[in-house]
């Protein structure tokens, strides 16, 4: 299918399963999922509502626990990490972009972007440099002192992207990043994400319903009833791009 970029995988998922218990019932969400994501890839994850896209994304990003299987990211098996180790790992390796931006309403754009850096040993001045750089990257240098409520949806999402990249993680995960935006703003956000892959070698995993958004990605994967398929509907081959 030739959709890979030829680089070694940064994410390796093997036999991943996850189910939820609702009372005495067990609802399987992901069933025996195995696939890789190459370093520097821009992958779109599509599928009907309730198919387990967010669940899969959360597992890869280390904010949820799998029942079975392993997830290696950059060579580290994150399923074996403790809660505390996982938190430190996330802070260093993953940037998050959410559908509803998830900015702190009481913090300015600057402070929101600064938030992840507070967990690093950076000095105040170093932090300011990083934050200003990140805000410049998303084109919001003139909005540093604005609160989220004073920004448009598209601007808020750009602040969120600045927050996601400010600590320079290798991977960005985005759950419906354009789901709450109009077409123009969505286009800008996708362009920005595309730039992050091209210019900054980020790996992006994006869950989306929007075919236009998926178009921007270089690989599209479909999730249906917990089973992963290629864009042509065939069961996914174990290694992306093979």
Ligand X SMILES: Nc1ncnc2c1ncn2[C@@H]1O[C@H](COP(=O)(O)OP(=O)(O)OP(=O)(O)O)[C@@H](O)[C@H]1O
Binding site residues, Mg ion, CB under 5 A: 54
* Cα 196 to Cα 93: distance, rounded to the nearest angstrom: 15
Least CB distance from residue 57 to ligand X, whole Å? 8
Least CB distance from residue 108 to another protein, whole Å? 10
Q: What is the DSSP string of 92-112?
A: HHEEEE-TT----TTS-HHHH
- CB burial of 39-57 (b: ≥16 within 10 Å; e: otherwise) equals bbbbbbbbbeeebbbbbbb
- Are 116 and 122 a contacting pair, CB within 8 Å? no
Which residue, 51 or 203, has its beta carbon nearer to ligand X?
51
Of another protein, Mg ion, ligand X, none, which one sits near residue 230, judging by CB under 5 to 8 A according to partner kind?
Answer: none
Among 4, 12, 51, 228, binds ligand X (CB under 6 A): 51
Beta-carbon contacts of residue 4 (< 8 Å; ≥ 6 apart): 38, 41, 219, 239, 240, 241, 242
Which residue, 57 or 109, has its beta carbon nearer to Mg ion?
57
Asked if 22 touches ligand X (CB under 6 A), the answer is yes
* Cα 87 to Cα 187: distance, rounded to the nearest angstrom: 32
Least CB distance from residue 23 to ligand X, whole Å? 10
Which residue, 45 or 134, has its beta carbon nearer to ligand X?
45
- Are 37 and 203 a contacting pair, CB within 8 Å? yes
Of another protein, ligand X, Mg ion, none, which one sits near residue 106, judging by CB under 5 to 8 A according to partner kind?
Answer: another protein
Could you list the residues that contact another protein (CB under 8 A)? 55, 58, 61, 63-64, 84, 87-88, 90-92, 96, 98-100, 102, 104-107, 115-116, 118-119, 163, 180
Which residue, 85 or 224, has its beta carbon nearer to another protein?
85
Least CB distance from residue 103 to another protein, whole Å? 8
Q: What is the DSSP string of 129-193?
A: HHHHHHHHHTT-GGGTT--GGGS-HHHHHHHHHHHHHTT--SEEEEESTTTTS-HHHHHHHHHHH
Return the SS3 of 117.
Answer: helix
Site map 134..163 versus ligand X, x via CB under 6 A: ------------------------------
Least CB distance from residue 21 to ligand X, whole Å? 7
Which residue, 207 or 219, has its beta carbon nearer to another protein?
207
* Cα 31 to Cα 42: distance, rounded to the nearest angstrom: 23
List contacts with ligand X (CB under 6 A): 20, 22, 27, 29, 47, 49-55
């Amino acid at each position: 299918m030739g959709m890979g970029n030829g680089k070694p995988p940064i994410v390796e998922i093997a036999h991943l399963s996850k189910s939820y218990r609702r009372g005495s019932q067990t609802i399987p969400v992901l069933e025996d999922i195995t696939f890789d994501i190459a370093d520097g890839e821009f992958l779109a994850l599509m599928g009907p509502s309730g198919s387990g896209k967010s669940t899969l994304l959360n597992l890869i990003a280390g904010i949820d626990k799998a029942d079975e299987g392993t997830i290696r990211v950059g060579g580290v098996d994150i399923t074996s990490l403790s809660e505390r180790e996982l938190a430190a790992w996330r802070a260093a390796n993953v940037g998050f972009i959410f559908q509803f931006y998830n900015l702190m309403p009481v913090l300015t754009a600057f402070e929101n972007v600064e938030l992840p850096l507070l967990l690093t040993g950076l000095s105040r001045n170093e932090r300011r440099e990083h934050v200003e750089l990140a805000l410049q990257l998303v084109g919001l240098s003139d909005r540093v002192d604005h609160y989220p409520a004073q920004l448009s949806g598209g601007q808020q999402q750009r602040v969120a992207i600045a927050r996601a990249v400010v600590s320079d993680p290798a991977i960005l995960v985005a759950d419906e990043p354009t789901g709450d935006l109009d077409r123009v703003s969505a286009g800008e956000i996708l362009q920005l994400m595309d730039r992050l892959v091209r210019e900054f070698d980020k790996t992006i995993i994006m869950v989306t319903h929007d075919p236009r958004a998926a178009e921007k990605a270089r690989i599209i994967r479909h999730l249906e009833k917990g089973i992963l398929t290629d864009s042509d509907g065939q069961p996914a081959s174990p290694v992306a791009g093979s």
